[in-house]
Amino acid sequence: MNKRIAVLSNVNMSYVIRLLKKEYQVWDAEGYGNELGTLMNGQSSYHAFAPEITFLIMDLMEVLGHKTDLPESWRREAGEIREESGGADAGKREAHAREDAPGGTSPDRDSLCVGLPVLRDWFTRMDSCILPGRLYYLSDAWLWGPEIGALPETSLAQRLEEQWLQGLAWLEQRHENVRIFPYRQIIGKLGEENSFSLKTWYLGKILHTGEAQKRLAEEIGRLVEKEAGVPKKVLLVDLDNTLWGGLAGERDHTPLELSEDRQGLAYKNAQRVLRLMTQAGVVLGIVSKNNEEDALTVIREHPHMILREEDFAIRRINWRPKHENIREIADSLNLGLDSMVFWDDSPAERELVRQMLPQVEVPDFPESPEELAPALTRLYKKYFQRPRLTAEDREKTRQYAQNEQRNRLEEQAADFGQYLRQLRIRAEAVSPPAHMERLVQLVNKTNQFNLTTLRFSLEEMQRIVANASQKVYLYRVEDCFGDYGIVSAVIVNLTGDAPLIEEWVMSCRVMGKQVEDALLARIETDLLAAGYERLRGRYVPTAKNKPVEQLYDRLGYEMVSRKSDGEKEYCIRLEERPARADHVTWMEPA
């Protein structure tokens, strides 16, 4: 590991640096407590060393200079404060602002809403020190000091910490290369009594105990490794003695260990960790030697399975060598082998994969079931957890939150119809040529609500959109809780004796709200107006699109043919179509 790193602090971190030096090139900090000066001084040995990653581990009490009494003015609205302190601070900000500081990104320099002047000043100065092309990890806060127990209000410490976090969030948003170092989590886990030592503080301004410093160094090391490594995307898991105890194929003789107590609970909790990982964006796959049917029966029917079929993006359950299956999965997902992690209880299988596919990460498997959940948590932190949420993740989290609100509304509504009306769903037809990337992504990534599962490249889709004998419909949908974005695409082929819906996909985000009824009604009306009398539809079964197997039946289409493989063709006379749901309002293009 050849990363150059620096650890800056306002307390003595020499021992942390000493621990890190065993494995990394670490800048020799000249003392402590001058972190901003070090960063600002272009002539400093810090800049000569040019660390790729700089860790700032700040003790909040020292930043505050032990002034924990809040100024009277600050206790009022933050807005008032900004006016009051605006004059002097603004001048300081100007003085420290570097001409080439990255600007233009939101939020701007003036949006720092930290009321406490000392912190406001710290963050404003820190802001001007951030260099592009370098990484910065700044610690979040745990306020501690000899006087902490005697603070007049218990909420005070929390409010001071919040001020720090606000400043941190501001920096993080302004700079793509600023990340948060989970200081709070480390102290919280170890506990105050085991983290801080007054003895070493008085003797040498060493605030943290040996154990706390060891953990700080470990966390720094973990982040350095993560920044250096290829980020992993896929976790491939074995089944027997990995997701559950025992063998799926022999469960008639010996029941599986997967339950609410003993080893069974250990496996169940391991699945809980995996489930959370999938929610955080880890792609989960199965690579297992089993009869597929035995395994699927367990996954589908076992009452204590946390993970179900839909949680696995891909699976290879067969008797072929695992490295062949893994190679195939990499091809199929179009991902490199170096983005995969393999999790299997069998030392022989692990060794084989290590030998055959050295790019695949193969962590050790714990000896006992109770170690499973902690080991998987470590695995997640080591390989998958991103140090900073991307905009996309944030968006995902926001969407989950909106869904939660929707679910609550659904629980409260008297019936489903009322729920749908209360959602106040609005839809809008958008131009396919203007949203080509989303169109291609939508068609190629949708598995469940996908009637024929045709896949197209960007070029192919461009030809389809330009082709006069094919018509592409694309829709954006929102409701009273938020925007779903562009969520459905329909490709209608106009050649032949009646138009045919060649492909229809809809994101699972809007499934279960009868939005499809409104979209189809719109297309039907459009085609009827264009002079067509009938419309045809097709369903081609896949492993994933069971949810729409009966879609056309439900929408009043008549099945005209059915092949042995389950492919079905439908037709409807447009004049005779049934009344469609009317809970969706159409936004007309301005």
CB of 294 to another protein, least distance (A): 51
Rounded CA-CA distance 10/126 in Å is: 14
Q: Which of 59, 53, 45 is closest to 10 using CA atoms? A: 59
Contacts 24+ apart (CB under 8 A), 261-264: 263/369, 264/304
CB of 199 to another protein, least distance (A): 5
Rounded CA-CA distance 341/357 in Å is: 11
Instruction: Give the residue with the Cβ less far from another protein, 11 or 296.
Output: 11
CB of 41 to another protein, least distance (A): 24
Instruction: Give the residue with the Cβ less far from another protein, 203 or 230.
Output: 203
Near another protein in 22-41, by CB under 8 A: 22
141 contacts 165 by C-beta, under 8 angstroms: yes
Residue choice 126, 130, 206, 256 for contact with another protein (CB under 8 A): 206
Instruction: Give the residue with the Cβ less far from another protein, 221 or 369.
Output: 221
478 contacts 510 by C-beta, under 8 angstroms: no
Residue choice 9, 10, 12, 446 for contact with another protein (CB under 8 A): 12
Instruction: Give the residue with the Cβ less far from another protein, 199 or 253.
Output: 199
Instruction: Give the residue with the Cβ less far from another protein, 14 or 377.
Output: 14
DSSP, collapsed to helix, strand or coil, labels residue 554 as helix
Instruction: Give the residue with the Cβ less far from another protein, 18 or 398.
Output: 18
CB of 210 to another protein, least distance (A): 5
CB of 15 to another protein, least distance (A): 5
212-235 b/e (C-beta count within 10 Å ≥ 16 → b): bbebbbebbbebbebbeeeebbbb
CB of 168 to another protein, least distance (A): 29
Residue choice 34, 73, 200, 318 for contact with another protein (CB under 8 A): 200
Quick one: which segment of 168-176, 184-192, 198-206, 579-587 binds another protein (CB under 8 A)? 198-206
Q: Which two tokens mark 433?
A: 């040529």
The phi and psi torsions of 469 (rounded to 5 degrees) equal -90, 5
CB of 293 to another protein, least distance (A): 55
How many residues interact with another protein (rule CB under 8 A)? 17
Residue choice 3, 4, 11, 14 for contact with another protein (CB under 8 A): 14
DSSP, collapsed to helix, strand or coil, labels residue 340 as strand
Considering Cα of 168, then 173, then 179, then 185, what sign does the dihedral take?
Answer: positive
Instruction: Give the residue with the Cβ less far from another protein, 12 or 271.
Output: 12
CB of 26 to another protein, least distance (A): 14
Quick one: which segment of 17-25, 267-275, 286-294, 321-329 binds another protein (CB under 8 A)? 17-25
Quick one: which segment of 9-17, 367-375, 392-400, 545-553 binds another protein (CB under 8 A)? 9-17
Q: Which two tokens mark 210?
A: 């040996």
Rounded CA-CA distance 388/137 in Å is: 10
Site string for another protein, 57-86 (x = CB under 8 A): ------------------------------
**Given the structure tokens 């008297």, which residue do they identify?**
414
- 203 contacts another protein (rule: CB under 8 A): yes
The runs of H, that is alpha helices, within 423-491 are 436-445, 458-466
CB of 30 to another protein, least distance (A): 14
- 253 contacts another protein (rule: CB under 8 A): no
Instruction: Give the residue with the Cβ less far from another protein, 79 or 210.
Output: 210
Across the strands, what pairs with 6? 54
Rounded CA-CA distance 361/343 in Å is: 9
Instruction: Give the residue with the Cβ less far from another protein, 215 or 350.
Output: 215
Rounded CA-CA distance 455/542 in Å is: 13
Three-state SS across 200-222?
Answer: HHHHHCCCECHHHHHHHHHHHHH
In sequence order, which residues have a C-beta less than 8 Å from that of residue 50 and are 6 or more positions away?
4
Residue choice 3, 4, 11, 15 for contact with another protein (CB under 8 A): 15
AA identity, residue 20: L
- 441 contacts another protein (rule: CB under 8 A): no
The runs of H, that is alpha helices, within 302-346 are 322-333
Instruction: Give the residue with the Cβ less far from another protein, 206 or 329.
Output: 206
Near another protein in 208-227, by CB under 8 A: 209-211
Site string for another protein, 372-411 (x = CB under 8 A): ----------------------------------------
Contacts 24+ apart (CB under 8 A), 472-475: 472/432, 472/439, 473/429, 473/432, 473/519, 473/522, 473/523, 473/526, 474/429, 474/430, 474/431, 474/432, 474/435, 474/438, 474/439, 475/427, 475/428, 475/429, 475/430, 475/519
Instruction: Give the residue with the Cβ less far from another protein, 18 or 424.
Output: 18
Q: Which two tokens mark 221?
A: 């090391």
- 202 contacts another protein (rule: CB under 8 A): yes
CB of 137 to another protein, least distance (A): 23
Considering Cα of 199, then 201, then 205, then 208, what sign does the dihedral take?
Answer: positive
Using CA atoms, how far residue 166 sits from 74, 114, 267, in Å, is 15, 7, 39
Instruction: Give the residue with the Cβ less far from another protein, 221 or 246.
Output: 221
Quick one: which segment of 11-19, 331-339, 378-386, 395-403 binds another protein (CB under 8 A)? 11-19
Across the strands, what pairs with 286? 237, 315
CB of 384 to another protein, least distance (A): 32
Q: Which of 122, 116, 114 is closest to 96 using CA atoms? A: 122
Quick one: which segment of 124-132, 192-200, 426-434, 563-571 binds another protein (CB under 8 A)? 192-200
- 194 contacts another protein (rule: CB under 8 A): yes
Instruction: Give the residue with the Cβ less far from another protein, 211 or 549.
Output: 211
Give contact residues for another protein (rule: CB under 8 A): 12, 14-15, 18-19, 22, 194, 197, 199-200, 202-204, 206, 209-211
